[in-house]
Amino acid sequence: MSAESASGGGSTEYIQHHLHHLQWQVGEGKFMAINIDSVLYGLALSGLFLFFFLRSARRATAGVPGKFQTVVEMVVGFVDSQVRETFHGRSKLIAPLSLTIFCLVFLMNFMDMLPVDWLPALWGKANEVAGHDPAHAYMRVVPTADLNVTFGLSLMVFLLIQVFGISHKGIGKFTAEAFTAPFHAEGTVMKILLAPANLLLRVIEELVRPLSLTLRLFGNMYAGELIFILIALMTWNAAASSGMTYVMAPLQFISGFVWTAFHILIITLQAFIFMMLTIVYLSMAAESH
């Protein structure tokens, strides 16, 4: 369904169509649904990241680098400098992990730069050719506009925080800190009295981290996707008014161009923030109170 031919529906139907996932219902009574489009695009972008970075690593030269190798070296150098300045412990995992997070989140965000009707229209045409109703051919192309994807990324970071904490401190010290920080006390009695409060604050702190990562990335990308959809509706809604299409078409082009230029900053900034918060949280987990 495109903004020009939305199967006779209204703007509300058009928006709902673009915000509906291609889903696979699991279990009887629709017990669970898997957003197939988010999974497929996530896997495709992960494969694209691995292909180009591995290809660049294997073809790297000591002399004058090519254009693509230069871009890769700039990204790697940028991430490495951020890790050196932020992470105070020692780990061979943190730099590759940070590079992977930044590039994957950026690539997922960058899907929002594609015209909002291109891939969904192709998917609808493919369903029409296959004999299915194109009005029910749903597809969303921005994985990070899916709450399940951002929560999955944040859950991975949460698990890594616990792994880093235990590996750097040991299970005994890691567990003890949950009962003795942030409120420190002298004497066994005071430590016992403050232990429940410390544990409660520790649990809240640990739960807030993945929640904030999830909602920040999802909220920004969902809003950006919705604004692109609303911009695409400008000329379609104007078609109902005689002569308004010619007035709205230039405005639609200008609005789309301005928002695209601004959104490039947003998608890059969101990838950077997600990476930096991951580094900070892992650094905090590796440090002793």
For tokens 């709902």, the residue is 16
Does residue 212 have an active-site annotation?
A: yes
Task: Please tell me which residue in 81, 212, 241, 288 is annotated as part of the active site.
Answer: 212
Give the closest residue to 105 by CA, choosing from 85, 75, 81, 83.
75
Task: Please tell me which residue in 91, 216, 237, 283 is annotated as part of the active site.
Answer: 216
Does residue 202 have an active-site annotation?
A: no
CA 174 and chain centroid, separation:
30
User: Exposed/middle/buried for 274, CB within 10 Å: 0-12, 13-18, 19+?
Assistant: buried
Does residue 127 have an active-site annotation?
A: no
- Give the type of residue at 263: H
- Give catalytic residue positions: 212, 216, 220
